[in-house]
Every structure is written in C-alpha cells, then in structure tokens.
Structure 1
Amino acid sequence: MGSLFSSAITLRNSVRISDDEFTQLRDFIYDKCGIFVDAKRKYLFESRFSKRLAELGLSSFSDYIKFLKHDIRRNSEMNVLFELVTTNETSFYRDTRQLDAFRDNVLRETLEKRRSEGKLDLHIWSAGCSSGEEPYTLSILLHEMLGPEIARWRIRITAVDLSPQVIERARRGVYREYAFKTTPDQARDRYFTPHEEGWKIRPELGRLISFQTMNLNDPLALKRVPRSHIVFCRNVIIYFDEAMKKRVAKAFYDNLLPGGYLMLGHSETLHKISSAFQPVYLPGSIAYRKEE
C-alpha cells in the first residue's frame, strides 16, 4: 500500500461532509479494513468521494453511508471504497538503501541457512504489495542472488493488497516509466520487455509470485497465509491506529517461522507496538527478528 490520500483533487462541485458524517464514514472504513483517517484529513473525503457520489446519484455523504450499509450493491462497492481510501504510490527498488541492507544481510543469511539445513525452499509474504513493484523487486533480487541455482529452489512470494484493482494491475505486470524512477537501467533492460503501454515483467519473475486480494483486518484471511521466512510490510502500518498496529504485528509474528524477519518501511517502527521481535540494526534500516 502506498500513501493514503497523498494528493487531493479539487472538485468544483464537491459535496460537503459534516463532522458527524465524517465520523460515521471514518469509523465504517476503520471497521472494514483497519485504516484510520485523522480528522485533519476530512477535506480529503470531500475531494475523493464527491465524484463517486455523483456516479451513484447520491447528494450527501449520509446517503452514501446508508448505501454502504444497506444497498444490495454494498458488497461490490467495498472494492470502490478501498480504492478511494488508498493511493498506491510505489516504484521498483523503492528505498534502495534499505533493499541493499536487506539483500546483503537478511536475505543472504536466510538463503545460507536454508542451504545449510538442506532445505531449498523459501516463503516471503509481501503484505500491502500495491500494484506489484515490491514483490517483483524481491523476485529480481532472488534471481540475481541465486542465478541458475534458482531452478532448484521452491520459492513462493505471497503478495496481497486490499484493492482488487491494484492486484489485477500487479498480475498484468505492465508498467509505465514512472514505476522505474528508482530502478537501475540494467535491471529494467534485463527483467522487462518493451510493451506498447510501457514495460512488461518477464514471465520467470512472475512465476515466483502469488497475487491475491486480502484485508489485513481479517483474522481468518491472515491465518491462511503460509508460514513465512520473511515478511515485507512497508509503508502500510503508518495508516493504522495503535490497536490495529498491534493486531497486525501479532499476526506477522505468528506467521513467521522461528528466526524469520519482518521488514517495515523506513519511517515505521514497532516501538511501543510489539516487544516480541528482536530489532536488528542494519545500514540505513532496521529488521525485526523472531527469536528461534
């Protein structure tokens, strides 16, 4: 997941939202997906949702809240709602300093440990994968580190996101120039092929990845994710309140195999959220390790 409401679109005919309507809609969103929207972002509801209200023929946020709760189309509207409350701002090789530290320490250690145990298998969970740039980057790193040896490994990257639309874009694997703003040219040339709409990921990269829609506020869905050696959840928990952060951190801890690692975004921390993990300080980054 990228930035929540990262930019407001000013609409001439935006529908005003009252304090009570904002609270009701905010609480509804929190209940459904765990994302908490601060009152300071109230005006962003008006800019983001006004067009949708017009499309549905609704004149107020009260009508939209009733629609979400009672209309026969309310289940399909959840997908639209989730798309509106998240803006998927991401790119390949995002935060290269963290990725370098991850590759040279966490990933290298994990692969060497699996080899030493005679178990050539690896599972990574990319939680909040947006339109696929993160899990594809992880696949590239694995191909570069293992080379031809990768054919002997059983590797699975489970990539999940709240929005069905971005998951579909991730599965398609076609990206425009903007997605490569932090990508080395040689990586793009090697792992992508030219496409009429930009660049398409090579099939061998996608074969390691299973994309699926998932709500991190759904305990049953979280339990269905295979046990992981590494969990990536970058730039996601900053949109949760303390209670939701604690629930998600516990879910990641329970999912990780002993000795496994959790990677958060560079501005995120488990300080005051969970003491179950052991912080591991890397150059320009922190990894959180589950004790063996």
Structure 2
Amino acid sequence: MSLLFSKSNTLRKSVKITEEEFLQLRDFVYDKSGIYIDEKRKYLFESRFSRRLGQLGLTSFTDYIKFLRVDRGQELKQLFELVTTNETSFCRDTKQLESFRDNLLKEVLDRQRKTGRLELNIWSAGCSSGEEPYTLVFLLLETLKAEIARWKISITAVDLSEEMISKARTGIYTEYAFKTTPDTIRKRYFKEVEGGWELDPRIRKLVNFLPMNLNDALAVKRVPRSHIIFCRNVIIYFDDAMKRKVVQAFYDNLLPGGYLLVGHSESLHKVSQSFRPVHNAGAIAYKKEE
C-alpha cells in the first residue's frame, strides 16, 4: 500500500519550491495519478525532489515542471516513484484478514460451489511490492487445501509504481516484510536466500502483477470482473472526486454479490451509496448486491 512521502532525502540540500511551483507540480501529479498532495506537505516536495533535480542538472522546480510537460513518459515513471513510498508486510491487519477468511471468503466460495463454477477472481489494487496478494494466496491455500487444484483462481495485482511491481514479481523479501507474519507462514512458503527470503515460485505463478494507474479508466476496465477487490490504505490519498471515480470503477468491476475491502481506517460512508456495508467481527466490507 502506498504512503506519501514517508521518508525524506536528507543527503542533499533542498531546492526551494515557490508557492506557484508547488501548485503547478501538485496539479500535474493529480492530473496524472489522481493523488492529491496537501499544501502542508509542500516542504516534502523540496526534500524528496531535490535529488532528482540534481540528477537531471536542473536548478529550479520551474525547470522540472517544464521538463515533465515535454517528456514522453519516462520521467513520469520517476515522478510516480517520488510521490509514493510503500509501507506493507505479509499478513498485515490480521483481524481484518481473519474476518475476511472466516466470513466473506467462505461465503463467496460456497456460492461458487453451488453454481458449479469453481472459479474465483480477486483484484488487489495498490498492491505495492506484493505482500497483500501473496497473503491472499496463503489464505486460499489454507482454506481450500487440496481442493484448490480443482479451482480456477485469478489474482490481478496492480500498483502505480513499476519498481514495486518488479520487486513483487521477483518474490524476494527482507526481514521487514515479515514483521506481522507468523513464523509458520515463512517456513511453509519461503526459503532463505542471499539477500532475504524467496517465495515459492508456485505461489508467485498464481498472481498476475501489472503496473497500473487507477486514474486511467481504460486500463482499469481491462481488469477481469472480480468476486473480491482489496484496495487497502490507498483511497485515503485521493480527494473526494478521485475517490468517487475509483470506487465507482470498483463497483462496475465487481460481479453481483462481490465484495470490496478497504483499509480499517477507511470508509465509503461519504464516497458511495452503491454498496451495502457488511459488518463482521474485526472488519467492515462493502457488498455489491446481487
């Protein structure tokens, strides 16, 4: 999941950003990604972007904004890396995951069995370096056990950061990624290698990772229709208009009876009335009525 500006670069003297430059750069970021940067974070633009300006041989944010506007897309990737920093781990928010496993997942699986269609599509939106979608695979393996061989399971995991998507595909993680993870999970699905712990390739094959901007309506429409969508700790970085746009896209993507799960500190109360809130011990989910 993406957090904005959780660390700043203290190794280089910051290039000062004027109020006008901040507004122009903020609006550019919003237009391209839907991410809204509050004015209180202006000083973080200076600290985070100063090194990049130095790498490009630029001495002002005005020059950088001009560069962005004539660039053909390569610098946009760098921009996305600069405005998002990823804070995640395996099995994060245990109570929510346990509630999902014991209630919603069980319901969806039972419904699929009754229809005779042993298939399940899950979309992890804002997947960061892969810990969330891989955690969902662990839950499925432990829930379905040997029965999983009979199921057609598709997990689509997307993130704005191509760097994070690349890391997720590699499947090698440091100790930090396991800070919320039971030792049994690490022993069962990982092996120790140089540089960290490598995820079992059989697990990695179950997740399709794609770089994606949730502000790109055409890209979002290409995601397979989902039974379950996870978008945790992402929409809090959008303004109201972008929240409504993204949540509506999730609603359109979900199959009837499907569920959207957001972060435990997030709510759709003022964003959308299309979903029915479903309360279970430890979590709230949002259901698209059948």
What interval of TM-score do these two structures reach, taking the shorter chain for normalisation? Answer: over 0.9
Letter in 1 for 2:4: L
Distance in 1 (alpha carbons) for counterparts of 2:249 and 2:105: 21
Partner of 1:111: 109
Structure-2 residue corresponding to 1:59: 59
Give the Cα–Cα distance (whole angstroms) in 1 for the partners of residues 61 and 4 of structure 2: 20
Please give the residue correspondences for 1:113-132 in structure 2 after superposition, counting only pairs within 5 Å: 113-132=111-130
**Counterparts of 1:48 and 1:125 in 2: how far apart (Å)?**
31
Q: How far, CA to CA, are the matches of 2:260 and 2:118 in structure 1?
A: 20
Which residue of structure 1 aligns with residue 171 of structure 2?
A: 173
Of the candidates 224, 227, 230, which is equivalent to residue 226 of structure 1? Answer: 224
Deviations 1:171-190 (A, max 9, x none): 00000000000000000100
Letter in 1 for 2:232: R
Letter of the aligned partner of 1:133 in structure 2?
Answer: E
1:142 pairs with 131, 140, 143, which one?
A: 140
Q: 3-state SS of the aligned residue for 2:260?
A: strand
Name the TM-score, length of structure 2 as normaliser: 0.99
Shift of 1:256: 0.1
Whether the 8 Å contact between 1:160 and 1:167 is mirrored in structure 2 is: yes
Contact 2:122–2:228, Cα closer than 8 Å, also in 1: yes
Task: List alignment gaps of at least 5 residues for structure 2.
Answer: none
Name the structure 2 match of 1:17. Answer: 17
1:195 counterpart (193, 196, 212): 193
Aligned to 1:50: 50
**Deviations, residues 194-219 of structure 1 (Å, cap 9, x unaligned):** 11111111112112110000000000
Aligned equivalents of 1:289, 1:6: Cα separation in 2: 32
4+ residue stretches of structure 1 with deviation over 2 A? 7-12
What letter is aligned with 2:154? R
Select between 198-207 and 41-50 the one with higher mean Cα deviation. 198-207
Q: What amino acid is the match of 1:21?
A: E
Q: Provide, for residues 74-129 of structure 1, a one-character-per-residue CA deviation record: whole Å limited to 9, x for no partner.
A: 41111110000001110000100110111111111111111111110000000000
Aligned length: 290
Q: Distance in 1 between matches of 2:2 and 2:212?
A: 15
Q: Secondary structure at the match of 2:269?
A: coil
Q: Partner of 1:2 in structure 2?
A: 2
What is the deviation of 1:11?
4.3
Shift of 1:12: 4.5
Retained in 1: the 8 A contact 2:191–2:200?
Answer: yes
Cα offsets for 1:147-193 (capped at 9, x unmatched) = 11111110010000001110000000000000000000000100111
Q: How does 1:51-90 map to 2 (within 5 A)?
A: 51-71=51-71, 74-90=72-88
Kindly provide the CA deviation profile for residues 38-58 of structure 1, in whole angstroms up to 9, marking residues without a partner as x.
000000000100000000000
Q: Deviations over 1:240-281 (max 9, x none)?
A: 000000000100000000000000001111011000000001
TM-score (norm 1): 0.98
Say which of 208, 211, 222 aligns to 1:210. Answer: 208
TM-align CA RMSD? 0.8
Q: Which moved more, 1:225-234 or 1:277-286?
A: 277-286
Q: Secondary structure at the match of 1:160?
A: strand
> Which letter does structure 2 place at the counterpart of 1:115?
R
Aligned partners of 2:12 and 2:51 also within 8 Å: no
CA distance in 2, matches of 1:111, 1:203: 25
Alpha-carbon separation, structure 1, partners of 2:100 and 2:266 = 16
